[in-house]
Amino acid sequence: MNPSPAPDPQPKADPEDDLLTILRDSPSIAADSRRQAAFIPGDPARARSLRPEQVEAFNTQGIIGPFAVYDASQALANRTAFDALLASFRAQGKDSYAINGFHDRCATIWDLATNPRILDLVEDLIGPDIVAWGTHFFCKMPGDGKTVGWHQDATYWPLTPTRTVTAWIAIDDSDLSNGGMQVVPGSHRHGPLPVVRSPPETNNLLWEQVVGWEHLGKPACIPLRAGECTLHSDLLLHGSEPNRSQRRRCGLTVRYAAASVRSWKDWNGNAIRCRGEDRASYWTHNPRPADDRPFGAPVMFGSN
C-alpha cells in the first residue's frame, strides 16, 4: 500500500499575524460602545504652565514627567501623613492598597489632589474645567510580591470620552528596583486593547492584563523622588513588578477628568471640583474635610 502523501507543511506563522489573531479572539471588556475611546490630545498652543513641547511629548508618549511638586520638607510631611493613614488602615485589618477613594474623608488626600501646581499642569492637558473623581494609594511594602498587570485605566472606568489624566505622586522614592510603575510610551494611541485573565501565580493586583502587550513597545520606567509626579493618559499601557527591595514604594494616583466627561455608572458621586466650571453641576463636590477620618467603606472608584 502506498503511504498516504505527507501533508503540506504548515505555512510558517508570522508572529504579527499571531498577535492580531490573539487580539481579535480575546475576550475583551476593553471595547465598550458607551465609551468614546480615542486619545484627545492637549493643545500645545494653549499651554501656560507646560512648555508646548511638553504637551507635544504627552500627545506622543502618553506620559510626561517628572515634575517637582513638593520640596524635601513637604515630601517628608506627605510621607508622615501617609504613614499615619496606613497605620490606621492596618489597625482595621486592611492592606496597603486599601486607601482608595478617601479624599472625601481625609484632608491629607484632599490637599494632595487639589495641589495648584499639579492642577496647572493638568489644565494644559485637559483644559480649565477639572474634577478629581478618584484617588488611590498604590503602596508596595518592602518585599511585596504583588504585580500590577499591564493595563489601560480607561478599560475599567465607565467614563466617556477618555479624557482622564492621572497624576502619580511619589510619596516614597520610586524606581525599577522597588517596583516602580512602567509604561509603554506611545501605547495610548492604539485605542482600547483586549485583556485576558491573569493566572493566580502572577499575583496580579488586577485580575487580568492586556494581551500581547510586549509587542506594543519597549517598557520604560520614570524614576521619581518623593514629592515628584508624572502625568499619564487613561489609555496608556502601564503596570508594575513586585517590590523586590527593602524600600517601600508608595504613590498616590489622582484621577483628573475634564468636567465634560460623563459616567454611565454614577461615578460622578465622589468628586472634588478642582478648578473652572462644571456647568451642568454633574459632579458632586466634596468640600475639604476638617481632618483625616480614614474610616468607613472605601469608595472603589478606579481600583486599578
Q: Does 181 bind ligand AKG (CB under 6 A)?
A: yes
Reference 286, options 110, 142, 124; nearest CA is 110
Q: Count the alpha carbons within 13 Å of 142 in the hemisphere toward its beta carbon.
A: 3
> Please, are residues 258 and 270 in contact by the beta-carbon 8 Å criterion?
no
Count the residues in the chain: 304
> 3-class DSSP state for residue 51?
coil
State in angstroms the smallest separation of the CB of 13 from ligand AKG: 32
- Residues 198-237 as x/- pattern, contact with ligand AKG by CB under 6 A: ----------------------------------------
- Return phi, psi of residue 152, to 5°: -115, 130
Answer yes or no whether residue 138 interacts with ligand AKG by CB under 6 A.
yes
168 and 214 Cβ atoms separated by less than 8 Å: no
Q: Which is nearer to ligand AKG, 70 or 157 (CB)?
A: 157
Joined grid coordinates for residue 166 = 492621572
User: Pick from 86, 113, 122, 148: which binds ligand AKG (CB under 6 A)?
Assistant: 148
Q: Does 82 bind ligand AKG (CB under 6 A)?
A: no
At 128, the amino acid letter reads P
String of contacts with ligand AKG for each residue 264-293, x by CB under 6 A: ------------------------------
Task: Report the residue number, 136 or 275, with the smaller CB distance to ligand AKG.
Answer: 136
Nearest to 106 by CA among 298, 296, 301, 293: 293
CB of 91 to ligand AKG, least distance (A): 24
Q: How far apart are CA 262 and CA 160, in angstroms?
A: 5
Size of the site for ligand AKG (CB under 6 A): 11
Residue 153 sits in the site that holds ligand AKG (CB under 6 A): yes
Closest CA to 125 of 250, 273, 255: 255
304 is an interface residue for ligand AKG by CB under 6 A: yes
What is the spatial distance between Cα 144 and Cα 84, in angstroms, rounded to a whole number?
Answer: 20
From 28, 54, 114, 166, residue interacting with ligand AKG (rule: CB under 6 A): 166
Minimum CB distance to ligand AKG smaller for 47 or for 252: 252
Told to check if 240 binds ligand AKG by CB under 6 A, we report: yes
3-state percent helix, strand, coil for the chain, nearest multiple of 5: 25, 25, 50
Q: Per rule CB under 6 A, is residue 168 in the interface with ligand AKG? A: yes
CB nearer to ligand AKG: give 50 or 169. Answer: 169
For residues 47 and 299, which CB has a smaller minimum distance to ligand AKG in the complex? Answer: 299
3-state secondary structure of 115: coil
Q: Which is nearer to ligand AKG, 123 or 241 (CB)?
A: 241
Contact flag: residue 144 with ligand AKG (CB under 6 A): no
Can residue 135 be called a binding residue for ligand AKG (CB under 6 A)? no
Give the three cell numbers for residue 59: 500627545
189 burial class (0-12, 13-18, 19+ CB within 10 angstroms)?
middle
Binding site for ligand AKG (CB under 6 A): 138, 148, 153, 166, 168, 181, 238, 240, 251, 253, 304
